[in-house]
Structure 1
Amino acid sequence: MKKLTAIIILITGILMISVLNFAQVREVFELNIKDASVDTKVINKDNKFIEANLKIPVLIISNKQMQSAINKKIESDIIEFYNKSFKEAQSYFNDFPEQENQFAISSDFEVKKNTDKVFSILIKYYIYSGGAHGIYEYVPYNIDLTSGKVFILKDIFKENSKYQEVINEEIRKQIRDLNVKNNLPEDSTQLYSFNGIKEAEKFYLEDDKIVVFFNLYDIAPYVAGIPEFSIGRDVVENIMSPNYVDTIFSTPITNKLSYR
């Protein structure tokens, strides 16, 4: 009888611990999903001039006012891309009515960093209007989730920090390495022709890196794709605004992100 009672107590204890642990896991999961998750809105259009497949990210966060503003901005930009492409296609086919192939466009997205302080996402645009290949472009949105601000590169650095010079030197160093890797002289401009970044150069955040990237043909031929250069924390931390150091280099919450 004593043995049976002991077994019952043991099983009861195990069940209670399991229930408590499950409740904690569920609470953490729900909090993470509440903080930031991503849904997908799909818009398909097919008409005389253009075929479009638009995937639009829908950010879901606890601050609904911020959520609405961010989602409205991103969706508006994607719809503007469609409207501009439609007008170009319409104009083209009005000038060349004998052409039969439609323009084809699409938008997609990739979340690069998702923490409780910052959200970094790439919108990936593609348009094909004939010829050997289409054109694609990536547009980043780096969002401070504490304020709702979409910040650009110059925002994250101290005034008079000469951040452009620092980043330029790091990119040139990486280009020299790439040239050597491709059996070219270090100072060759055959593959990359880089003259320096702009104040609002495109970038996204990933882990403890700032990844600066360029459009097709900006600094390299089409075959090079979208050139990307990772700028490590050790390169820029001492010239960054203190407010952004903690925001940008905070640890990603990888289990927070959900796609639906």
Structure 2
Amino acid sequence: MKSLKSITAGLVGSAVLFSAVAMPAFAATSAQPLPAAKPAPVASAQNPQAKGVVVTSKIIQQKTAEYEANITIPVISGLKDKAFEAKLNADLLKYAQDQLKERQTMSKQDAIDSKKYGYPMRPHAVDISYKVISVGKLVSFSVQTYLYTGGAHGLTDMTYYNIANLDKAKNLQLSDLFQAGYDYRYVLNNLIKQQIKNNPEIADVYNFETIAENQPFSFENGNLVIHFTQYEIAPYAAGMPAFSIPVHSYLNLLKPEVKALLQ
């Protein structure tokens, strides 16, 4: 087995970030385009076609009196599994279209109700963006969705994708990472609980018991990062908590094929 230092270097080396290129967007005929595109939070790099995988952006922007949409979704190309790639891109586009359609429907009804019952109409909003984390053997990115429906505040959700770029591609779940016979949830739970305990600013307000088998995760700077949604383990003000697990704490638990993806 490689030394811990070399494994860590491999993990960091695989995290190649690249820029997003705008593509044409679809739009409803009744909507008015915004004057400028809101940039997707994607870091740039000198070589945007590293290891054959390229990510570009599809931008959808609309603004009416009832709602505003600022949507930037990733379009993936260069995966070895073309059928998986096609379905992934179709699913990402459908998700964006569904979120937009829901906002159009709900905001229209809210406008009708506001006139009927005499309360002020607050325009709805949907904001979708993405961030590329790594490309190569592991293609990793996140999609963030912010929704506002007229209440006191909006809600944000994050979805993480960790795709094994193989002849038969797969979007890895947390349970896919570890060898059989290891209680990885026990290990990770204790590490997260210890981090919470050691931070007096959050110890009294976080309510963490256990991670799920499909708990969102990412590999960043050689560490395994466990992500939580709003309200999952803490109040709204805490945002979306994340805990970074150092490589030496989980490396020996990984399946050999997962280690190979990270090198």
Partners of 2:138 and 2:157 lie apart in 1 by: 23
Q: Is residue 34–residue 62 contact of structure 1 (8 Å, CA) maintained in 2?
A: no
- Alignment counterpart, residue 140 of structure 1, candidates 160, 178, 203: 160
The aligned runs of 1:89-128 (5 Å cut-off) are: 89-97=107-115, 98=118, 99-114=120-135, 116-128=136-148
TM, length-normalised to structure 2: 0.73
Residue 36 of structure 1 corresponds to which residue in structure 2? Answer: 53
Decide which structure has the larger Cα Rg and report it: 1
Q: Partner of 1:157: helix, strand, or coil?
A: coil
Bigger drift between 93-102 and 225-234 goes to: 93-102
Out of 146, 170, 177, the position equivalent to 1:149 is: 170
Q: Per the alignment, do residues 86 and 204 of structure 1 end up closer, same or farther by CA in structure 2, a change over 3 Å counting?
A: farther
Counterpart in the other structure of 2:70 = 53
Deviations 1:141-199 (A, max 9, x none): 111111321111111122342111111011011111222xx3x7xxx4x2211011111
User: Which residue in the other structure is 2:220 paired with?
Assistant: 206
CA change 1:143–1:127 in 2 (3 A) is: same
SS of residue matched to 2:198: helix
How many residue pairs get matched? Answer: 213
Per-residue CA distance 1:95-124 (angstroms, 9 max, x = gap): 33343321011100011122x201111101
Deviations 1:33-65 (A, max 9, x none): 461121111011234532111101111216444
Could you tell me which amino acid in structure 2 is paired with residue 57 of structure 1? P
Residue 245 of structure 2 aligns to a residue whose secondary structure is: strand
Tell whether 2:182 aligns with 1:161: yes
Q: Which amino acid aligns with 2:252?
A: N
- Relative to structure 1, the CA distance from residue 90 to residue 195 in structure 2 (aligned partners, 3 Å threshold; closer, same or farther) is farther
CA contact (8 A) 2:79 2:165 kept: no
Q: AA paired with 1:173?
A: Q
Partner SS, residue 157 of structure 2? strand
Tell me the SS of whatever aligns to 2:197.
helix
* In 1, Cα distance between equivalents of 2:51 and 2:87: 17
Structure 2: which 5+ runs fail to align?
1-45
- RMSD of the TM alignment (CA)? 2.3
* Bigger proportion of residues as helix: 1
What does 1:1-260 correspond to in 2, within 5 Å?
32-33=49-50, 35-47=52-64, 49-61=66-78, 63=80, 64-97=82-115, 98=118, 99-114=120-135, 116-146=136-166, 147-179=168-200, 182=201, 188=203, 190-247=204-261, 249-250=262-263
CA distance in 2, matches of 1:81, 1:203: 23
Q: Percent identity?
A: 27
Q: Distance in 1 between matches of 2:185 and 2:51?
A: 37
Helix, strand or coil: the match of 1:205? Answer: strand
8 Å CA contact retained: 1:138, 1:215: yes
Gaps of 5+ in 1: 1-28, 251-260
Name the amino acid aligned to 1:235.
S
Distance 1:30 1:166, change over 3 A: closer
Q: C-alpha separation between the residues in 1 aligned to 2:104 and 2:156? A: 16
Kindly state the Cα deviation for residue 225 of structure 1 after the two structures are TM-superposed: 1.4
